[in-house]
């Protein structure tokens, strides 16, 4: 599981050597620990004139008690004042060279045509090199589909290319994200902005998330334990990423119901026992598995609030050499089981209002991978399921989303041949592999009752991998 | 007690040209400068042998022996010796505060006329004995026997000879006023260019005020100096750009050019009731309408040391039913170019106006062409106590020439203080 190269280049001598000979220099990413502030450094808030999101962003920054700076521009200063932010003034022409920010947040929703994309340059040009260690670059925009004119849509779509490039330029563990906020969804950004500002999103970069309007709001939520009083079922919870998911959901206040196959029962009991949760032991591909799960949840907990479809397997072989069982088992576990469980839970109304379905897809499902035709097909199918079910699920007041992990340091990746492993680790903007907790944190953000505006999204946890972008 | 108040007329003022530290006034005392200034005012308004209600004046750097300096100065002039006097001190706000005190007594009917003045010398500065030496000397003084005196005397050490020279530092922060202003400049993102432009405008406006004769009856030559020594009529942003930063470190934006120099000088203004003015056939130039002081917490809340006028002015405007744009002249004391720019930015800033000033909207912008139209402290220099009198006299004359309108005075001072006032033209 350990990344010896990263440990080496972070020693004093390793730093000098790697710099001298130009090796990649992955920094140790900051990760969230309970009780930490959302962000532990100054935030620079900017906005293109005429935007509609600076006020919402300012409200979030006030809510997390961030130290906020803004340029001396009337729009953004007014937004800050309305939010009750005692924002400091930042003028790049006068600021000392060593002044840095933990995050740059820019409301680009005012950009109405391509000529106004100049605002991106004007704001980020003098500031992008001031982004500190494990820093954050966050651009807020309007989904192209919500734009009134083709020119506005083109300009808003341009933000994607911009943000993905910034993600590749920023250094020292910094990340860049684009958040498209739909019309009337301005009040839904808090959960997402908190996630992307915080160390919880350490290994997420270059992502585009869409927030839509929803009737539910996050008023009264305890951001330290957003899942308090909620029941969360996690499949494949006994080890690896599933275990990390169970732990993070429990940390966030959820009662975790861990599910795994009989062969892993003792590991499951140990993991979930520590968290004070409950367990379901069964094989999700069994014919009666969906019904037994639904019955269990309804009988014991009156239903469930969060369903995390994490259970999955790989049975790699190139297609011509792949036997039927490898093909069938991967599709059955990774995709069909998720579909059947979802259908059963929805049909029996076992998922409570403001419930969440979170699926685990994979980078392979997006980019494809030699030797993984079965696995990639299943994981791409998961994305298709999420996208196609979002409408129906949304009408029921629920959401369905997926994470797509990239190279995550697990027992599975530790067993890879060194060349493949090193390529997987380094070929991303952060030049390192992610940790299971990075996937778990992303799932916890989707699972939060305050994330109701995010539906039908696929977010990669891949350090902005070069593959499959 | 008088229940109604009277309008307070500003009849005019004079000052001596301001000199740079250790310049032509190096050997002039505060009393010399104030006496000369009062004499010029007496000549200008024919006040010889007049009994005035009072003369109030003050300075920042004073010798302890000069506790009654203004009274002593009055006794050295042609004013009737029955004219009472007193000294006061409110850092750089001293001169304006003197005018406010005299004006308030006139408004209440306690006096009918008075002179408000101010002075300062940074050249003939008081030097105190070393604190350790002072303690020893006091102990000798307290001793009752020769043996005890000798014992105390034996405590004197060579290093105690080093005297205490007054420092331009805030007692509670240890930072010089310039360092405080540099922090403000950084907080507000003030550029070097903005500061240098304001400085050039100050010099050009003051030079024009001399060239057009505006200052002919306001400035009276003293010790061979006819114009303010610090004035650089040919000042330019190119020349100022060459100066090295003196505050705020190597990347600082504040230089000796866009900060006021230490200077020497004095000023005085004649104030009176309308009746007194009419009885003496003296035309009214303007009225001192209202005034407001304020203070900031630069110690615990880390507010900008020189930002107190930003608090005072909104109160002044509200009490008089005015908005920031309702003025024809803005006299903002240029302690540092950055102080003026920070003040203006603060009034334009929704965040500052709401979070700090408790207003529900920003105070607004001012027309830059109405700012310090006859030059400011950057060009003229800034003998601390004398600046208020310079500004009141200049503004009164400008309002008189304008024939109508209003002027706003804003002066920042050490200790986080601010003194502000409104003047109106005589109709």
CATH at residue A156: 3.40.50.720
Q: Residue A198: pLDDT above 90? A: yes
Q: Which domain holds residue B371?
A: 177-213+290-425
**Distance between CA atoms of B261 and B281, rounded to whole angstroms?**
39
Query: A206 and A72, same structural domain?
Result: yes
Q: Are strands B417-425 and B406-413 parallel, antiparallel or unpaired?
A: antiparallel
Burial A421-441 (b: 16+ CB within 10 A, else e): beebbbbbbbbbbbbbbbbbb
Q: Which of A97-101, A340-344, B161-165, B341-345 has the lowest mean pLDDT?
A: B161-165
Note whether residue A91 is domain-resident: yes
CB A403 within 8 A of CB A361: yes
Local structure of residue B39 (DSSP, 8 states): H
Give the number of domains in chain A: 2
Q: pLDDT tens, B312-342?
A: 999 999 999 999 999 999 999 999 999 999 9
Query: A311 and A199, same structural domain?
Result: no
Q: Which pLDDT belongs to residue A21?
A: 65
Q: How far is B349 from chain A (nearest CA, A)?
A: 7
Cβ–Cβ below 8 Å for A96 and B187:
no
Note whether residue B186 is domain-resident: yes
Percentage of the residues of chain B whose pLDDT score is greater than 70: 99
Is residue B342 part of the annotated active site? The answer reads no
Confidence at A469, pLDDT banded by 50, 70, 90? low
**Distance between CA atoms of B14 and B410, rounded to whole angstroms?**
20
Q: What angle do CA A171, A174, A175 make, to 5 degrees?
A: 120
Note whether residue B372 is domain-resident: yes
Query: A454 and A397, same structural domain?
Result: yes
Query: A263 and A194, same structural domain?
Result: no
Q: pLDDT tens, A220-255?
A: 899 999 999 999 999 999 999 999 999 999 999 999
Is residue B382 part of the annotated active site? The answer reads yes
Which three-class secondary structure state does DSSP give residue B257?
Answer: coil
> Considering CB atoms only, which of B188, B192, B353 is closest to A89?
B188
Q: Which pLDDT belongs to residue A1?
A: 47
Radius of gyration of chain A, Cα coordinates, nearest whole angstrom: 22
Cβ–Cβ below 8 Å for A81 and B251:
no
Percentage of the residues of chain A whose pLDDT score is greater than 90: 86
Confidence at A426, pLDDT banded by 50, 70, 90? confident
Q: Which pLDDT belongs to residue B149?
A: 87
Q: Residue B126: pLDDT above 90? A: no
Straight-line distance from the first to the last Cα atom of chain A, in angstroms, rounded to the nearest whole number: 25
Query: A284 and A165, same structural domain?
Result: no
**Distance between CA atoms of B246 and B255, rounded to whole angstroms?**
5
Note whether residue A302 is domain-resident: yes
Contact with chain B for residue A86, Cβ under 8 A: yes
Burial A371-383 (b: 16+ CB within 10 A, else e): bbbbbbbbbbbbb
Percentage of the residues of chain B whose pLDDT score is greater than 90: 85
Nearest-CA neighbor of A179 among A159, A203, A153? A159
Burial A175-197 (b: 16+ CB within 10 A, else e): bbbbbbbbeebbbbbbbbbbbbb
Q: Residue B382: pLDDT above 80? A: yes
Q: Distance between alpha carbon B282 and the CA centroid of its chain, in Å? A: 26
Contact with chain B for residue A320, Cβ under 8 A: no
Of A187 and A421, the one with more pLDDT: A187
**Distance between CA atoms of B280 and B303, rounded to whole angstroms?**
47
Cβ–Cβ below 8 Å for B186 and A96:
yes
Stretch A451-459: mean pLDDT = 96
Note whether residue A17 is domain-resident: no
Q: What average pLDDT does the structure give for chain A?
A: 94
Confidence at B31, pLDDT banded by 50, 70, 90? very high
Q: How far is A17 from chain B (nearest CA, A)?
A: 33
Query: A347 and A239, same structural domain?
Result: yes
Q: Which of A71, A73, A81, A85 to mutate to test the interface with B (most CBs of B within 10 A)?
A: A81
**Distance between CA atoms of B184 and B295, rounded to whole angstroms?**
16
Note whether residue B280 is domain-resident: no
Alpha helices in A11-52 (DSSP H): 12-20
Stretch A323-343: mean pLDDT = 97
Stretch B68-91: mean pLDDT = 98
Note whether residue A466 is domain-resident: no
Stretch A103-124: mean pLDDT = 98
Query: A145 and A44, same structural domain?
Result: yes
**Distance between CA atoms of B92 and B142, rounded to whole angstroms?**
37
CB A240 within 8 A of CB A248: no
Nearest-CA neighbor of B359 among B317, B328, B331, B320? B317
Final residue before a domain boundary, out of A148, A182, A211: A211
Which three-class secondary structure state does DSSP give residue B228?
Answer: coil
Note whether residue A10 is domain-resident: no
Q: Which two tokens stand for residue B179?
A: 């360092």
**Distance between CA atoms of B280 and B11, rounded to whole angstroms?**
11
Q: What average pLDDT does the structure give for chain B?
A: 95
Query: A165 and A50, same structural domain?
Result: yes
Note whether residue A360 is domain-resident: yes
Q: Residue B1: pLDDT above 70? A: no
Give the number of domains in chain B: 1
Which CATH number is B297's domain given? 3.40.47.10
Percentage of the residues of chain A whose pLDDT score is greater than 70: 97
CB A257 within 8 A of CB A232: yes
Report chain B residues whose CB lies below 8 A from the CB of A80: 350-351
Straight-line distance from the first to the last Cα atom of chain B, in angstroms, rounded to the nearest whole number: 29
Note whether residue A259 is domain-resident: yes
Report chain B residues whose CB lies below 8 A from the CB of A91: 188-191
Is residue A375 part of the annotated active site? The answer reads yes
Query: A185 and A39, same structural domain?
Result: yes
**Distance between CA atoms of B357 and B349, rounded to whole angstroms?**
11
Query: A130 and A269, same structural domain?
Result: no
Stretch B145-173: mean pLDDT = 81
Q: Which domain holds residue A439?
A: 231-461
Confidence at A415, pLDDT banded by 50, 70, 90? confident
Query: A246 and A156, same structural domain?
Result: no
Note whether residue A223 is domain-resident: no
What count of other Cβ atoms lies within 10 Å of the Cβ of residue B46?
Answer: 11
Residue with tokens 């925009």: A141
Q: pLDDT tens, B272-322?
A: 999 999 999 999 999 999 999 999 999 998 899 999 999 999 999 999 999
A206: left (phi over 0), alpha (psi -120 to 50) or beta: left
Query: A415 and A272, same structural domain?
Result: yes
B50: left (phi over 0), alpha (psi -120 to 50) or beta: beta
Note whether residue B252 is domain-resident: no
Contacts of B249 (CB under 8 A, 6+ apart): B182
Stretch A266-273: mean pLDDT = 96
CB A25 within 8 A of CB A18: yes
Q: Residue A150: pLDDT above 80? A: yes
Cα nearest neighbour of B195 on chain A: A94
């Amino acid at each position: 599981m350990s990344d010896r190269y990263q440990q080496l280049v972070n020693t004093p001598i390793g730093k000098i050597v790697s710099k001298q000979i130009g090796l990649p220099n992955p920094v140790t990413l900051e990760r969230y620990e309970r009780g930490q502030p959302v962000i532990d450094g100054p935030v620079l808030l900017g906005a293109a004139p005429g935007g509609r999101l600076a006020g919402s962003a300012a409200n979030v920054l006030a809510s997390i008690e961030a130290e906020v700076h803004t340029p001396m521009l009337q729009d953004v200063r007014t937004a800050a004042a309305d939010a009750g932010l005692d924002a400091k003034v930042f003028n790049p022409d006068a600021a000392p060279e060593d002044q840095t920010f933990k995050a740059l947040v820019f409301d680009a929703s005012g950009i109405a045509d391509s000529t106004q994309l100049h605002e991106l340059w004007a704001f980020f040009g003098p500031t992008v090199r001031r982004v500190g260690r494990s820093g954050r670059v966050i651009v807020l925009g309007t989904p192209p589909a919500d734009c009134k004119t083709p020119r506005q849509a083109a300009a808003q779509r341009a933000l994607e290319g911009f943000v993905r490039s910034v993600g590749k330029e920023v250094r020292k563990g910094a990340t860049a994200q684009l958040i498209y906020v739909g019309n009337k969804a301005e009040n839904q950004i808090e959960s997402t902005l908190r996630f992307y500002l915080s160390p919880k999103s350490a290994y997420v970069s270059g992502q585009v998330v869409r927030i839509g309007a929803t009737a539910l709001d996050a008023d009264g939520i305890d951001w330290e334990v957003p899942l308090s009083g909620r029941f969360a079922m996690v499949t494949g919870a006994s080890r690896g990423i599933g275990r990390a998911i169970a732990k993070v959901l429990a940390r966030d206040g959820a009662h975790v119901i861990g599910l795994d196959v009989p062969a892993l029962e003792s590991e499951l009991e140990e993991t979930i026992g520590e968290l004070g949760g409950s367990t379901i032991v069964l094989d999700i591909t069994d014919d009666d598995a969906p019904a037994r799960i639904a019955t269990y949840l309804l009988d014991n907990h009156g239903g469930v609030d969060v369903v995390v479809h994490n259970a999955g397997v790989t049975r790699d072989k190139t297609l011509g050499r792949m036997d039927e069982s490898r093909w069938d088992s991967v599709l059955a576990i990774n995709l069909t089981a998720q579909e059947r469980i979802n259908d059963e839970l929805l049909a029996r109304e076992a998922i409570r209002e403001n419930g969440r379905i979170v699926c685990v897809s994979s980078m392979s499902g997006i980019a494809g991978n030699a030797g993984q035709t079965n696995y990639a097909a299943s994981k791409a199918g998961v994305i298709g399921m999420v996208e196609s079910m979002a409408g129906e699920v949304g009408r029921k007041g629920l959401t369905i989303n997926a994470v797509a992990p990239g190279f995550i340091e697990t027992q599975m990746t530790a067993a890879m041949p060194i060349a493949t492993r090193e390529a997987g680790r380094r070929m991303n903007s952060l030049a390192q592999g992610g940790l299971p907790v990075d996937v778990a944190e992303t799932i916890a953000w989707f699972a939060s009752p305050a994330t109701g505006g995010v539906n039908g999204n696929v977010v990669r946890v891949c350090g902005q991998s070069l593959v499959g972008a | 007690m008088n229940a109604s108040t009277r309008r307070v007329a500003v009849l005019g003022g004079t000052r001596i040209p301001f000199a740079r530290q250790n310049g032509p006034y190096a050997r002039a005392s505060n009393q010399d400068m104030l006496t000369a200034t009062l004499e010029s005012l007496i000549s200008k308004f024919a006040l010889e042998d007049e009994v005035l209600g009072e003369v109030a004046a003050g300075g920042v750097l004073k010798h302890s022996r000069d506790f009654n300096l203004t009274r002593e100065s009055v006794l050295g002039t042609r004013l009737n010796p029955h004219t009472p006097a007193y000294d006061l001190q409110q850092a750089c706000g001293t001169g304006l505060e003197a005018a406010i005190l005299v004006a308030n007594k006139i408004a209440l009917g306690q006096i009918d006329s008075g002179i408000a003045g101010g002075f300062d010398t940074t050249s003939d500065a008081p030097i105190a004995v070393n604190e350790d030496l002072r303690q020893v000397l006091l102990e000798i003084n307290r001793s009752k026997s020769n043996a005890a005196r000798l014992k105390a005397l034996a405590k004197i050490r060579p290093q105690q000879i080093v005297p205490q020279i007054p420092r331009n530092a805030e007692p509670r922060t240890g930072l010089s006023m310039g360092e405080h202003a540099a922090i403000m400049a950084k907080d507000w993102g003030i550029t070097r260019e903005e500061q240098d432009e304001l400085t050039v405008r100050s010099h050009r406006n003051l030079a024009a005020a001399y060239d057009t004769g505006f200052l002919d009856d306001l400035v009276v030559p003293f010790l061979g100096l006819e114009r303010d020594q610090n004035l650089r009529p040919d000042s330019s942003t190119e020349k100022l750009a060459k100066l090295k930063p003196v505050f705020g470190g190597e990347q600082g934006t504040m230089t000796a050019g866009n900060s006021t120099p230490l200077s020497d000088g004095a000023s005085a203004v004649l104030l009176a009731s309308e009746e007194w003015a009419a009885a003496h056939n003296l035309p009214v130039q303007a009225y001192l309408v209202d005034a407001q002081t304020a203070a900031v917490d630069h110690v615990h809340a880390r507010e900008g040391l020189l930002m107190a006028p930003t608090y005072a002015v909104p109160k002044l405007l509200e009490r008089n039913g005015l908005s920031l744009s309702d003025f024809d002249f803005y006299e903002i004391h240029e302690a540092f170019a950055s102080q003026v720019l920070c003040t203006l930015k603060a009034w334009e800033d929704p965040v500052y106006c709401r979070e700090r000033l408790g207003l529900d909207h920003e105070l607004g912008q001012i027309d830059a062409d109405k700012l310090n139209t006859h030059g400011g402290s950057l060009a003229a220099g800034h003998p601390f106590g004398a600046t208020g009198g310079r500004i009141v006299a200049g503004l009164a004359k400008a309002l008189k020439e304008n024939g109508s309108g209003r002027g706003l005075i804003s002066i920042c001072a050490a200790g986080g203080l601010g003194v502000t006032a409104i003047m109106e033209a005589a109709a």
